[in-house]
Structure formats: C-alpha cells, structure tokens
Structure 1
Amino acid sequence: MMNLRRAALAIAAFLFAFPVLAQTCTFTMTDMNFGFVNLASGSAVDTTATLNVTCTNPLAQGLSVRICPNINAGSGGQSSGIRRMLQGSNILNYQLYQNAGRTTSWGSTTQPALGSPPPIDLLLPILPPLLGTASRTVYGRILASQASAARGIYLSSFAGAQTSFTYTTYTLLAPNCADVTQNPTLVPFNVTAAVEPTCLVSAQPINFGNQGVLSNAVDATGTITLTCTANLAYSIALNGGLTGSPPAARQMVLGGSSILYGLYRDAARSNVWGSTAGQVVTGTGSGASQNVTVYGRVPAQPTPAPGNYTDTVVVTVSY
C-alpha cells in the first residue's frame, strides 16, 4: 500500500508539470511613428511598423501554430472602420493595413468594422533550437484630404485589451481566427504623428492690360492663394519688385523706361502692401484654400515708349 501510494503521488506530480513544456509564442511590435507630416497638400502619408513573432516547440513535435494578431481601434477610437489619432478634441484619421498597397485593413475578430486580422502560420521546427520565428510588416496611412487638421502631436495608444494576439497549434487544417481564443497576449505599441505648421502659396499675375496714353489711373487685381495648417497665424509681405521700390511707387520696366504702379491691401487703394510693419496682410489658416486679393493701380503719369512693361514681386508668407 505504501508503494502504491508513492507511485500515485509521483504520477500526479509528472502530469502536473507537463503543461509547462507546451508551445508558447512571444511578440514584439514596434511603434508606428509617422514623424512630422505636412498635410497642407491634402495627400496621404505612409509609414510602417514591424511585428516579430517567436514560438517555441519544447516537445519537438511536428506541429504548426496559427497566430491571430487582433488589433482593435486604439485609444483614439474609430468611426465607420477608420481609426483615429487624437490631440485633445482634434482628430487625425488613419488606418492600418495588411499589404503594401494599403487595400486590406488590419483589424480584429472583436471589432469587425476594422477588418480582420491576417493569420500567421508557423511550422514549428523539430530540431534545436526548436524556435519558429516570423516577421510581418504593418502598413500605416494617414488618410488624404485632412489639410484642416490642427498642428500638434497626435496619438493613439494600443495598450491593454486594444491588442489580443491569440494562437493555437494544429496538425493539418488551420482553424479560423474567429475560433482561436487561446493564449490571449497583450502586445502594446503606439501610433503617433506630428502635424507640422505649414503654408502652400501661389500667386496669379496682375495684368493692367493694353493701354494707350496714361492720362487716367488704371486698376487691376491679382490673387494670392494660400493653404495653411488650421489655426496657424500667418502674414503676407510683398517686396519692392526688381527695382526695390516703395509699395506705391513700384516700377514696371522696359529697357531704360518704366511705368510707376502701386500694390494695395484694399479696394480703395489707400493701404499700401509692402514688407514692413503695418504694410502686410495677416490671417489665420483654416486648412482649406484661402484667396487674398492684391489691388494694383497704375496712376496717371507721362506715357513712356510703347512696349511690354513688367516687374516681378516676391510674395513671402511668414508663420
């Protein structure tokens, strides 16, 4: 009886220790950092992160393991399947993808609106070091047409239950990820982007047209078009042209002859537009295209020889 009792205890201890040798997987995920992004053009911005997987096979059994890397919405949340980074109440829309073409979203079995997780299948080696490894790229994209996003640092954190990588072994047929709930593992990482302040600027020429004798003032207008980061204060200065002349006495030149003209901030042509304090135009970006009118005037003056008179004025936007 004593021997039998000792045998039973030994078997129980052996069975209890057996699961410690089961297959295990570990994961690391790099942060996805878009860095400083310029959204004024309205274009998408891409970057990547890397998922690394290591699975052990201590029993040297010829098994495969299916890994289901479920990635939820993150702390920024999601809207209609589009993930969001946040800066206070400001939102920056982005998405995670399975492929470089960014056509297949990387999602989760628990949040199907985001898409499905891409299964990773590993054949576990039966020879030392008995480790199976895999690496997967996670493709990120800040979606296009977000020029209205305010400047600053945006974040979505994938801590806690925002990720749940599950896995199980199999021999022939891999299970569907919807059925793989074993070994849930939390894999934290962050998605960040810094929207930098910027302005895009273009200018439409001012054409005073064909004129005869300059006995009367001739007026014309041009347009400066800006697209600046939302809530970004800016100022627009105009230099003195090729001759470096004062704002109301700029010169269009042809050879040794010239025509005086001025550029103004108002339709009445009473406020000159130059490059010193009190002569510039100020505004605040909205993320959308903004048009600013430049008012030009050729005052009455002696008429020079016929020809095409021109000048080039540099537009400088400060922010």
Structure 2
Amino acid sequence: MPEGGAVSHALPMTARSARAAASLQRALLLALLALVACLFSPRAQADTCTASMTPITFPAVNPILGAAVAGQGTLTVSCDFTSALAIGALVCVNLGAGANGQQDPRLMSNAGSAVRLQYRLSQNSNMSPVWGTVTSGQPIQLTFIRPLLGGQPPAQSVTIYGQVLPNQFTVPTVNNATTTYTEAFSGNATLNYLFYTVTLANCSSVPLVRTVPFTVSAPVTNNCTISTSQNMVFDGAGTRSLLNSPIDASATLAVRCTNNDAYRIRLDGGRYGTVAQRYMQRTGGTQRIPYALYTNSTRTTLWGDGTGGTNFFTATGTGNIQTVTVYGRVPAQPAPVPGSYSDTVTATIEF
C-alpha cells in the first residue's frame, strides 16, 4: 500500500438487490397513492347510518265535512363514525311511491273499497315541498359532522307532517263501521348515505344502503247531516172555509251521509199529535185539523218512528247531498174554523 494513500473497496450492486429496491419503491408509491385516494374520496366502509320511522296515524277522517286532516310522525337518523378518515356524512332519505303506486298525492286503501284516500307527506307543516325523491318531490337531507373531540354525533329527528286532502266527500266506509285506510312503505322508503373526507356530495350521487319501513293509516268514520231545504205548505188549507177534498203538499230535506253508510230518518209526532195521528193547530186558538206525512208519493206509507203503524225512511249515503221528499196530505173533513194552522215536526237521522 503506497505511503499516505487511501485504500477503497467497491461493493458491486448485484441484479438481485436492485430488483428488491425497485419493488420497495413501488410499494411505497402505491401506499402513498392509496393514502391520497382515501383523503380525497368518499368513504363508506365500516361507517354506518341507521334510520327508523314511526307509524303515521291520522285522527278520524270525516269525509262529508270536506276538511283536511293533519297527522305526523317522526323520522330518526343516527350515524356512527368508525374509520379514522371520515369527517362527515350526508344522509338522504328518499320516499318513492308506496304500496298503492302513486307518489303525489299518495293513496291509502282498504280491501273493501275501490276508492282511495288521498294524502301527502312533507318535512314542512305547509306541505311544500312534498317528501319524495331526487326526481320527484324532495328527499330529506341531513348532514352529520364528526365531533372534533371524539365520540359520535347526536341522532337527528325530523317531524314528518301528513295531510289527508280536503274535499274527498265520496270516500266510503265498509259494513257501516269505521273503516281504516292504510298504505305501507317497505322497499319504497330508502336510506342513502355517504361518508366523506374532504368534499360534500349531493343526494343525486348518494348510493342506496337500506330501507326504512313504516305505515300510514287513517280511520274513516260515518257521519250524516240533515237540514230542511223546503217547508211544507198546504196551499189554501188555512184560508178556505171548506176542506171537502184532500189537499196534498210536500217538503224536502237535504241529507248528506258518508258514502256506503246506511241511514234512516224518523219523524216525531209534532207538537199536537202522534206519529199515527198528526194535527195542525190554529194560530191564536185551539182548533185543530188532522194531516198525515208519508214516505212515498202515492201516500200509502206513513212516515213516523216505526211505531203506531208508521215507518222510517231508509237509504244509503253517497257522500253527496241527497234530497229526500216528505209527502203530506190534509184529508177531506168538515169545514174548520178559518185561520192559519201549523205544526212543527222534528226529523232525526240515525246512522
């Protein structure tokens, strides 16, 4: 070895060790790319969201009143963050057409009726926009943010408002009893959610994850209304001195009963007689003249309360106003004291 010199020894790189180094570099590069992909793309691995919906049960619906009926339920959603990278979650709850196949308005049904009960659901009490999907109506959209100090974000509850639409006068009951109309949502209500790390997605790009089953129902009740649309006036009976021939007249009642609901109308005996023998009394006096009320135009069936040989008037409601005619007759009789004769009869509808 030369004096003052340095000795060096080169270690040659073999082909085998070079390949190992290249493989290590590729592995590190792939790991880096995977990390970047995780940081800048949504995640839905072990992170989960769940939802539940209470049944929506409307109070009694009285179709002949024509009024809207309000009800509500509660949608509850919670999200659990288990991955290390997700910072938030977008949840979209879509509601498609239910079991009766229509979305706006939605329809409740009963097996005994071909008529449907129309209603709407919305996140807002003014019923706009209606709860639907990204293509029809509007889904319910919620955002969950991962707490900075750890743990899970609180569950979120949304009030779902329902409205049975007004002016559905002809919705029927079945078998003369309160009838429950329903619609079920099984695969029609869907929970779509997406966990994200950087950018927030929108509902149109959030995938379906699970369904949120629930039901909507409303009891439809029977009801009737009755009023006098025309009083009975026997023309000439109170002004002429002779009643030597019968005098006929009629009055009309306006009746509205729930569609398919059987009803009957009874008449009392008035102020001065009975259902079998009615009287009108002279104003300012005590003199009376007999008369009768009938259910038919031939005046052969006495109308009363089912006693004393009288009958009820019976029919079935349609949901619309029905005109019921009361037929009257003053029989031929000896000449009464001149004056104005009258009576007041009360009609009662039973259903």
TM-score after normalising by structure 2: 0.74
Separation (CA, whole Å) in 1 of partners of 2:283 and 2:151: 83
How far has the Cα of 1:56 moved from its partner? 2.4
3-state DSSP of counterpart to 1:178: helix
Residue 105 in 1 paired to residue 105 in 2? no
Aligned positions, number: 297
Task: Name the Cα RMSD after superposition.
Answer: 2.9
Aligned residue for 1:132, secondary structure, equals: coil
CA distance in 1: counterparts of 2:55 and 2:105, whole angstroms: 19
Distance 1:104 1:168 in 2: 24
Residue 153 of structure 2 corresponds to residue 127 of structure 1 = no
For 1:60 and 1:92, locate their aligned partners in 2 and report how far apart those are by CA, in whole Å: 49
C-alpha distance in 2, partners of 1:76/1:82?
11
Alignment correspondent of 1:254: 283
Q: What's the secondary structure of 1:100's corresponding residue?
A: coil
1:224 aligned residue: 253
Specify which of 228, 239, 242 is matched with residue 203 of structure 1.
228
Aligned to 1:3: none
Secondary structure at 1:269 match in 2: coil
3-state SS of the aligned residue for 1:146? coil
Output aligned runs, 1:151-300, within 5 Å.
151=173, 152-159=179-186, 161-170=187-196, 174-181=200-207, 184-208=209-233, 211-216=238-243, 217-252=246-281, 254-257=283-286, 258-276=288-306, 279-300=311-332
Give 1 or 2 for the bigger CA radius of gyration: 2
SS at match of 2:291: strand
Where 1:293 maps in the other structure, the secondary structure is strand
Output one character per residue of 1:174-224: Cα deviation in whole Å (capped at 9) or x when no partner: 432111115x22111111122122222222242416741252344332212
| Distance in structure 1 (CA, Å) of the matches to 2:199 and 2:289 | 85
The answer to whether residue 103 in structure 2 is matched with residue 70 in structure 1 is no
* Contact map agreement 1:252 1:261 (CA 8 A) in 2: no
2:166 is the counterpart of 1:140: no
CA distance in 1, matches of 2:230, 2:282: 16
Shift of 1:275: 0.7
CA contact (8 A) 1:83 1:93 kept: yes
Where does residue 62 of structure 2 map in the other structure?
A: 38
The code of the aligned residue for 1:229 comes to: T
Q: Is the 8 A contact 1:41 1:200 kept in 2?
A: no
User: Which residue of the partner structure matches residue 4 of structure 1?
Assistant: none
Q: Please, which of 119, 123, 143 is the counterpart of residue 94 of structure 1?
A: 119
Q: Any conservation in 1 of the 2:184–2:215 contact (CA below 8 Å)? A: yes
Separation in 1 of the partners of 2:273 and 2:53?
Answer: 58
Deviation at 1:283, TM superposition (A): 0.9
Instruction: Determine if contact 2:59/2:69 at 8 Å carries over to the other structure.
Output: no
2:336 — aligned with what? Answer: 303
Cα distance in structure 2, aligned partners of 1:191 and 1:260: 57
Shift of 1:58: 4.2
* Deviations 1:103-136 (CA, angstroms, capped at 9, x unpaired): 3211123xx34x1213122333233542232111
**C-alpha contact (below 8 Å) 1:56/1:132 kept by paired residues:** no
Code of the residue aligned with 2:49 in structure 1: it is: C
Deviation, structure 1 residue 29:
0.6
| CA offset digits 1:87-108 (Å, max 9, x no partner) | 1244222221221112321112
Q: C-alpha displacement at 1:157, in angstroms?
A: 0.8
Distance 1:126 1:62, change over 3 A: farther
Does the 8 Å contact 1:85/1:91 carry over to 2? yes
Q: Distance in 2 between matches of 1:177 and 1:276?
A: 66
Letter in 2 for 1:158: F
TM-score by length of 1: 0.81
For 2:241 and 2:95, the matched residues in 1 are separated by 72
> What are structure 2's unaligned runs of at least 5 residues?
1-26, 36-42, 174-178
From the superposition, tell whether residues 124 and 315 of structure 1 become closer, same or farther in structure 2 (CA, over 3 Å): farther
Q: Distance in 2 between matches of 1:189 and 1:218?
A: 64
